[in-house]
A and B are shown apart, each in its own frame.
Chain A
Amino acid sequence: MQEVEKIVNGKDLFQRPEYQEVLEGKKQFESSYGATNPEKVSEVAEWTKSWEYREKNLAREALTVNPAKACQPLGAVMAALGFENTMPYVHGSHGCVAYFRSYFTRHFKEPTPCVSDSMTEDAAVFGGLANMKDGLKNCKAIYNPDMIAVSTTCMAEVIGDDLNAFITAAREESEGLLPESMPIPYAHTPSFVGSHITGYDNMMHSFLSQVGEQGTKTNKINIIPGFETYIGSLREVKKIAAAFGDDCVMIGDHSDQWDMPAGDYQMFSGGTTIAELKDAPNAKATISLQKYTTKKTMKLTKKWKQEKLELNPIGLKGTDEFVMALSELTGKEVPAELKIARGRFVDAMQDSYPYMHGKKFAIWGDPDFLLGMVSFLIEMGAEPTHVLCHNAPSGWEEEMRALLDTCPAKADCHVWAGKDLWAMRSLLFTEPVDFMIGNVYGKELMRDTGIPIIYIGFPIFDRHHLHRYSISGYEGGLNLLTWITNKILDKLDEDTKQIAKTDYFFDAVR
C-alpha cells in the first residue's frame, strides 16, 4: 500500500512484495512461455544471439520487424510547416493525421498543426471530392492560413483521387473563401512508395513548382534543409549563411514552428514567407543539405537554370565544403567568425580524440544524416562498424561504402541498406560494437545487448531538448563531439566504479 509521506509511481510500487505476489499469481493463467516454460525462454533468447539466428534473420525477404523509417505524408507535413502561416492538409483518413501529429509532438514537445478531410468508407467508394470541398473551406474559415499544403494518405492514393481537379472544384464552390491568390500546392504522397523523406521531397517539389514564379533572375541562393529534425541545425545553417551576407534564403524553415516560446500560443510561427517561396525559381543557385531527401526537388534547378549544389554540413569536412561553397557563390572571403568557430571545433576534436579513437559504433537513420555522421566518426578516428539505413535510396549504399573505404578499419565497416532494427539486433550480438548512435528505437537494443546508446536521430521521444541543439556546422560538430565523448566517459565510469575492484581507474581527471 502507498505511504502517504512517500507516494511512489509504478516503477517502485510494483516492486513491492504484495504486487510481486500478484504478478506471480497471475502466471498460473498465462500462456506466455515466461509463465509456462521459463527455461525455453532462456534457450530461445540465447539462440537469438547466435550466428545461426543472424543468418535466418538477415535472409528475411517479406517481413519487417522494428523498422527505422516512416511513411511519406509525415515528411510532407514537415515540409509544409516550413512555410509561413501554412496549414498541412492531408487528404485521407484522420487517423493518419492523429499519428503524424502525435509523432512529431512526442519528439519536439511542441504542438503540430495539421488537418485532414476525414475520408471514411463512403469516400472510399465515391472518392473524396466532397471531403476536399468541405475540408478546405472549413480549414480556411477557422484557422485562416495563408497557404494550404495538400498531401495524401494511402487510402486516397489507392482510390486514385485527382487532387488538381478536386482543389479547383473546391475553390469554385468556396464562395470566395479560397481565392486563386491563395496558394494550395498539392503533392501525391503514397505511403507505399519510399519513406518519409520521399514525402518531404514530393511536397517540397510541389511548393516550388506550383507556387514558385519564374521572373527576373536574382542574386539569391536557396538553401533547402531537407527532413531536418534538429532545430538548432536550421538556425546554425542560417547563421553561417548570414555570415556571407543576406543572399541566402532557407526554403522550408520549420525552426520556429517547433520551438515556440512560452507565454502565448500561436498556431503558426516563423517559416519561409510566401514571397520568398514565389521568388525561389529566380535564385542563382539552390543548395540542398540532404541530397537523397530532395532528389526530385533538385531536378527543378535544371529547369530554372540554377547552379545546383548538394552539401551536407555535418562534421568538419561537410561544414568546410558548405562554407567554401558559400564563399565561392557569394564571392566573399570566409568571415573571421567562421574561421574562429572552425578553429574551436578542431581544437575540441584534438582535446577529446583519444576517447573516440578506435571505438566501434553502430549507427542508423536517414541516408543523408548517416553520410554526415559517418564522415564525422571517421574524422575522429572512430570505426563505424555497422551503418544501417532502412530507407536507403538507390545510390546511397555505394556512396556510403566509398566513404567507409576511407576509414583505416574499412574491412570491419559494414553497410546495411534496406535492413531494419531487428536485423541490427543480430548484428550487435554477433559483431558487437562499443556504442550505438540512433533514435528511440535503439532503446530496446540497448536493453537487450547492453551496448550504450547515444541518442542522435529522429524520433527521440524519451530524452528532452536534444532537438533544440545543432548537429550541423562547426558548433553542431562540437555538440556531437560533446555528447559522444561524455557518453564514452560515463561508460568508463560505470565500468570502473566497483569499489576495491576496478576503481583504481575511476579517475578524477580524464
Chain B
Amino acid sequence: MGPETLEAKQKAAVEEVLAKYPEKARKNRAKHIGVGSPDDNTAKTCGGVRSNKKTVPGVMSQRGCAYAGSKGVVWGPIKDMIHISHGPIGCGQYSRGGRRNYYIGTTGVDTYVTMNFSTDFQEKDIVFGGDKKLEQCIDEINELFPLNNGITIQSECPIGLIGDDIGAVARTKSKATGQNLIPVNCEGFRGVSQSLGHHIANDAVRDYVFDKPTGMDTATHEVTDYDVAIIGDYNIGGDAWSSRILLEEMGLRVVAQWSGDATLKEMALTPKVKLNLLHCYRSMNYISRHMEKEYGIPWTEYNFFGPSQTTKSLRKIATFFDESIQKKCEEVIAKYQPMIDGVTAKYKPGLEGKKVMLFVGGLRPRHVIGAYEDLGMEVIGTGYEFAHDDDYKRTTEEIFRSTIIYDDVNEYELEAFVKKLQPDLVASGIKEKYVFQKMGLPYRQMHSWDYSGPYHGYDGFAIFAKDMDLAINSPVWSHSKAPWDKAAN
C-alpha cells in the first residue's frame, strides 16, 4: 500500500465512521479524529485532533476516572503505604490486582499493593457522612497493619458530593499521632478521564510528601553526582527493573522509582537527585515540573520501548552527566547490541510489513511505535484514552507514516476503523481484546503486557519481540474458518 493510498483510505474511513452519529455527537467526534503525517509541521497536534475534553455520552468510551488515575495509577503502587478506597465497595474491588505493578515485599505485613482496603460505604454513611467511619478505619488499620508507613485516602464519587472533609480527618489524626495521612480528593466524576486523577495525585505528593515531614530519614542520605529518579514507571510486569539495570550499568544511581515498587522514603528522597527521568509524561509531568521549579532539578523525557528509542534515550540521559557516564553509556549500548541484533534477526522476517493499530492510555500510543517499527512493523493508527494536546503534539515526532489518530476512541469507532484498515495486529486493552480476537485478529494488551513483560529496556524488547511474533504467527488464527466453509469457496 503506497502512502497516498493509505492516507486516502484513512480519510475515507474517518468520514464514514462519523456519518453514523447524530449531528451533535458527530460535530464533537469530528474534532477528535484525524489523519496525522510525520511531515506535517503545521498542525498544532498530530492529525489536528482535540483532546482532554468531555466524552460524548452513550458511546462506550474506554476511559476510566480520576479515582482510577490516582488510586489505580499513581498512589496504588507505593508499596509500604496503605491506600484506602474511601466510599462504596465497588471501585476498590474492580481495581484490585489488575495492573501488575510488581513489587518486592511481604503482602499484608510490610507491603500492601495487591490488597483492597475499603470503607465500604452504606446508606447511613451517605446520609450522615463518613468521616467518623474513616477515622475508625484508620485506627483499625494501625492496629492490624502496624508496619505501614502511612495511609492515603482515595476518595470515590460520593465523598465530594456529600460534603465529607477527609482533609480535616487526616489533619486531626495526623496531628495526634504524627502518622502520614494523605487525603486525595480524586472523586471519579472530577475531570473527564483518569488524567485529572494523575494531576490530583501529583499535587498530593507535592503537598504531603515534599512539603510535610514524613518521618522518613532523609537527612543522613548522602547524595552523589549521579543520582537520578525514574518518574512515571509503574513497574508493569517489572518494567522499572529492566530500566533501572541499564541506568545503573551506565554508572547512574537510581534513588527512586515513581511509583512502581516504590516506598515512601524513595519518594521523599527524590528532591535530592540531580536529574529526574520522566517516562510517563502524561501522569507525572506535574511533579517533575514542580521539582524543577522548587528544587532546581532538571527533568528529561525518555523512551525505553524498542532498541532505537532506548539507545537514543540512554545517550540523551548521558549528556546530562560527565564523560565517564557518556563513556559507560556507549559501553552499555555496545554490550547489548549483539543481543538486540540477534533478536531482530530472529523475529523481523516474520513481522516485517505487518500493520498495527494501537489504542492505549496517555504515553504508549506514541512511545511503543518505535518498538514496532524496529521489528519492521508499521503503525497505521493510534490514539489515547486520556492524553492532552501536548501528547498529540509529541506524537507527530513518533509516527513514521500517515497514521489515523483517534482521541478517546469508542467501541464503535475502533471496530469500524479496524474493519476498514484491516491491520494485522490490534494492541489495546482488556475491554477491546476479545472483540478483535473474535474477528480472528491477533491482539496484544498494551496496558498489562497481556500477563507477560517487562517490555522496557533491551531485555524487555526481546520479550516484546517474542510476544508480537507469538501473537501474529500463532497457528490459532488460521482455525477460525471451518474446512467446509473453505470447500464452499
Contacts and interface: CB of A to CB of B under 8 A. Distances in A.
Given A19-B241, A191-B90, A121 B189 contact: yes
A4 B345 CA distance: 10
A94 interface: yes
Nearest to B419: A265
Interface stretch (B166-174, B199-207, B260-268, B308-316): B260-268
| Residue of B115, B134, B147, B244 with most partner-chain A CB within 10 A | B147
Interface string B4-37: 0000000000000000111011000000000000
Contact of A1 (B119, B162, B336, B431): B336
Interface string B399-414: 0000000000001100
Interface string B416-441: 00000000000001111111111110
B146 A44 contact: yes
Contact of B89 (A121, A142, A195): A195
Contact of A67 (B59, B89, B134): B89
A65 interface: yes
Contact of B339 (A1, A74, A116): A1
B217 to A, nearest CB: 8
B483 interface: no
B58 A155 contact: no
A64 B120 contact: yes
Given A22-B245, A120-B189, A138-B22, A263 B440 contact: yes
Given A10-B453, A62-B136, A131 B440 contact: no
Contacts of B256: 29
Interface string B54-72: 1111111111111110000
Nearest to B465: A7
A29 B269 contact: yes
Contacts of B263: 29-32, 35
A9 B244 contact: no
A61 B140 contact: yes
A100 B22 CA distance: 27
Contacts of A177: 22
Contacts of B373: none
Interface in A420-452: 422, 425, 440-441, 444, 448
Interface in A34-80: 34-35, 40-41, 44-45, 48, 53, 56-57, 60-67, 69-74
B38 interface: no
B168 to A, nearest CB: 17
A460 to B, nearest CB: 13
B434 A109 contact: yes
B342 to A, nearest CB: 4
A382 B393 CA distance: 64
Interface stretch (B97-105, B288-296, B376-384): B97-105
A115 to B, nearest CB: 5
B189 A119 contact: yes
Given A93-B189, A98-B62, A138-B25, A262 B480 contact: yes
Contact of A23 (B59, B104, B188, B462): B104
B47 interface: no
A137 B58 CA distance: 8
Nearest to A60: B140
B141 interface: yes
Given A69-B93, A137-B22, A4 B122 contact: no
A135 B57 contact: yes
B60 A193 contact: no
A135 B146 contact: no
B153 interface: no
Contacts of A118: 54-58, 61, 63, 192
A288 B437 CA distance: 35
A101 interface: yes
B462 to A, nearest CB: 4
A393 B241 CA distance: 46
B89 A71 contact: yes
Contact of A154 (B64, B87, B454): B87
B232 interface: no
Nearest to B59: A138
B391 interface: no
A111 B63 CA distance: 16
Interface stretch (B106-114, B322-330, B351-359, B363-371): B106-114
B350 interface: no
Contacts of A99: 64, 68, 90-91, 94-95
Given A1-B459, A96-B90, A106-B430, A134 B102 contact: no
A8 B460 CA distance: 9
A121 B466 CA distance: 44
Contacts of B342: 4
B143 interface: yes
Interface residues on A, range: 35 or more
Contact of B119 (A9, A62, A69): A62
A473 B123 CA distance: 38
Contacts of B481: 263
B157 interface: yes
A71 B93 contact: yes
Nearest to B216: A31
Contacts of A65: 115-118, 144
Contacts of B105: 32, 34
A3 B339 CA distance: 7
B311 to A, nearest CB: 15
Contact of A102 (B98, B122, B269): B98
Contacts of B191: 120-121
Interface string B137-150: 10011011011010
A67 B116 contact: yes
A199 to B, nearest CB: 10
Contact of B25 (A9, A97, A141, A422): A141
Nearest to A91: B57
Contacts of B107: 444, 448
| Residue of A10, A123, A155 with most partner-chain B CB within 10 A | A10
B297 interface: no
B188 A111 contact: no
B93 A70 contact: yes
A192 B123 CA distance: 6
A331 interface: no
B115 A10 contact: no
A471 to B, nearest CB: 22
B115 A265 contact: no
B237 interface: yes
Given A31-B216, A32-B105, A70-B89, A64 B459 contact: no
Interface in A247-277: 260-265, 267
A4 B458 CA distance: 12
A111 B125 contact: no
A32 B80 contact: yes
Interface string A1-30: 111100111100110001100110110011
Contacts of B109: 33, 41, 44-45, 48
A461 to B, nearest CB: 8
A341 B126 CA distance: 51
B397 interface: no
B94 A56 contact: no
Contact of A158 (B141, B161, B241): B161
12 contacts: A4-B339, A30-B80, A69-B93, A70-B90, A95-B65, A98-B68, A113-B411, A117-B58, A192-B126, A422-B144, A444-B107, A448-B107
9 closest A-B pairs by beta carbon, nearest first, are A95-B65, A71-B90, A135-B58, A31-B265, A135-B57, A99-B94, A4-B342, A191-B88, A62-B136
Given A35-B263, A142-B21, 10 more contacts: A1-B459, A13-B238, A70-B90, A94-B61, A101-B431, A120-B54, A138-B21, A190-B126, A195-B89, A444-B115
Interface of A: 1-4, 7-10, 13-14, 18-19, 22-23, 25-26, 29-35, 40-41, 44-45, 48, 53, 56-57, 60-67, 69-74, 89, 92-103, 105-106, 109-121, 123-124, 131-132, 134-139, 141-143, 153-155, 158-159, 177, 190-193, 195, 260-265, 267, 422, 425, 440-441, 444, 448, 461
